[in-house]
Structure 1
């Protein structure tokens, strides 16, 4: 519920919408305030607006330049007129005039809700209801604008264009791997770390769905004399991570705008690493298999060998971010970043795992259950002061 000095108030829910669904609510008009401000007419709009702002740090503060402002959707209807008889459905309740409204989303393609904030740029695709009232006596009442406007945002995602998938745990898997030499100090021999990540081999990963992921790490010590092979206490570096907290797996979103781009870390996923409000499941839900240290005899040198040990983590990811999309001037992509820290300079393991796409996971023939699915959106998505005056026509 939002309001402007109690003159106009929007009552509607902010649940997730999809193409063809309804946007219904009630605008509550305060008759005393309406009379005092000489409120003449009220309109209600269903709007979708794409915006982009470049930001530069100047000596006197941050300078912002709008670089994109496109109205993607604009439905408008008259709601109330002080000179006209009450419209159908209008009622007076508890001293307020209650005016219902209803819109339906079109079925043509629209981008999903989106919001990103970075040092040099911000971009958004917002969906919201805006109620505008024209005031006759705005100058006399001390209001500085001939209109009063209230807005309420809600999230939207398009349907998934791909056919419904088989359970992802039964899909073929794609392997992503890296291998680096590591050394404990600036002198001495090198050990080795191998890291693998396995994900379902799909064209797009759906939202709100358990996505199985496996992280497999193998650590090999430097070459050692063969008599060290009788006691695993000689195996001290590099040791594989023993808990999911020692592995960082982050979701990275990149916003591509014309010739510039910026990336944002959306936090850990799958229960790995530092916990995040959007983290999908605590670490206790991760299955961890730690193999025993094993001596590996060198094939060519009988008097040398090395220790190795492996660990496997099995978990699930659930994405709740904005799906990937592209419109003129703006598109977003995602990838996963795996990081496994090891002691010593330059020894951390890094692996970038591209995600070809993230789709809504909601299909035309499967109705959306109200309030069961929510998007993780930046809090700025819900702050609509910068687009209340996207256009002045009422």
Structure 2
């Protein structure tokens, strides 16, 4: 009965603490013909965790156990219309609604892998109530996403990043001695350094500027070696941002009563360092090689080379959170490989992601978004989230 009940609710990411406003249009003649007695709007939010365990018995028989837990986050109902309160002659009755999100909600989230699953889901449901065993209720359902409100400090950081970061920077570096294919002999040197804004938390969906530097020193060689090997003298810095491996790891735990399971996912950042399809999004600067004579090695010296990459990281993922039966954290790993076994440099450091979003003041659902920065950026959520398969729908009236 989509024609009888129409839900108007803009597709914005919502912020915990926000007043949700929308409208339900009731086609009164169609609703009455369908024997609807009333129309309600329901706001629901929950964390659903599931763990599957398989016991192996003698004889090859397996027994599967399903552990399941639901934690309710928000529940609110409002009656919008009933058949006894309809103005005479009205065809389509527009029923506005206002429902409040609690201020301390965890963000929307979905993870499903092997024997574990967790979904933090929020929804609105319009219910056309029809009494009687043969008259199932009519329902219009809409899943939406929620992020926590950022603190005042996090909002200031987000504004500073949008305007072009002018605050302090934080270097994260590593270096290593490496050899090319021999067990003995002199080492070469490799170093890499990432420089990012010195912030304890990075906002979701906002470009985070970075510079990334790779520096190498050869072992003592003849000056002519660089030209003779056409610049491929070991260790050769990466020539392109696509040659750098960048992975964002999401790790956490889910709990079902006394059971606990770890979760892990990894994401390749798009439009940045390591993305082969977006190398033009990263500015590359290659220094001229420098040769330094080595006093201890007659007619030999060290070639120093460096490459620099500048661009933006963007994290469109669920903010870091810790809830009653689920939690997740992030870390970023950057890796550069050189020729030879075990010849690589790697940075691995924690990343705390916040929403960077403020709670908007109440505003009409069909008006422009009241904040100059607009609504929060869309979250990268799997399609399973929007299907609501793991949502605990309230099928009662």
Give TM-score scaled by structure 1 length. 0.81
**Aligned to 2:24, what secondary structure does the other structure show?**
strand
Residue of 365, 375, 382 corresponding to 1:378:
382
For 1:9 and 1:265, the matched residues in 2 are separated by 39
User: Which fold has the larger relative contact order, with Cα–Cα distance below 8 Å and residues 6 or more apart in sequence?
Assistant: 2
Does 1:244 find its partner at 2:241? yes
- Note closer, same or farther for the CA distance 1:289–1:230 as it changes in structure 2 (3 Å cut): closer
Pairing of 1:187-226 with structure 2 (within 5 A): 189=185, 190-225=187-222
Deviates more, 1:359-368 or 1:120-129: 359-368
2:42 pairs with 18, 40, 45, which one? 45
Give the superposition deviation at 1:244: 1.1
Judged with a 3 Å threshold, the aligned counterparts in structure 2 of structure 1 residues 62 and 246 are, in CA distance, closer, same or farther, namely farther
1:351 alignment counterpart = 347
Quickly say closer, same or farther: Cα 1:40–1:162, change in 2 above 3 A: same
SS in 1 for 2:385: helix
CA-CA distance at 1:349 after TM superposition: 2.8
Aligned residues of 1:250 and 1:269 also touching (Cα < 8 A) = no
Other-structure match for 1:268: 269
CA distance in 1, matches of 2:152, 2:302: 49
Structure 1 residue 113: deviation in Å? 1.9
> CA RMSD, aligned part only?
3.5
Q: Per-residue displacement from partner, 1:196-242 (whole Å, max 9, x unpaired)? A: 11111112112343311111111232333567478674752221111
User: SS of 1:283's equivalent?
Assistant: helix
- CA gap 1:382/1:229 in 2 versus in 1, 3 angstroms: closer
Q: Which residue of 1 aligns with 2:364?
A: none
Structure 2 residue 15 is matched with structure 1 residue 14? no
Give CA deviations for 1:8-53 in whole Å, capped at 9, x if unaligned. 44332221222233331325458557645x4443321112211222
Aligned residues: 372
Cα offset, 1:183, TM superposition: 3.6
C-alpha separation in 2, matches of 1:222 and 1:178 = 19
Give the 3 Å change call, closer, same or farther, for CA 227–393 of structure 1 in structure 2. Answer: closer
CA distance in 2, matches of 1:66, 1:334: 26
The corresponding residue for 1:153 is: 143
Change (3 A) 1:308 1:239: same
TM (norm. structure 2) is 0.80
The residue that corresponds to 1:317 in the other structure is: 313
CA distance in 1, matches of 2:108, 2:87: 33
Task: Select which of 135, 143, 147 maps to 2:130.
Answer: 135
In structure 1, distance between residues paired with 2:116 and 2:97: 35
The corresponding residue for 2:113 is: 118
- Unaligned 5+ runs, structure 2: 362-369
The alpha-carbon deviation at position 251 of structure 1 amounts to 2.2
SS of the residue 1:385 aligns to: coil
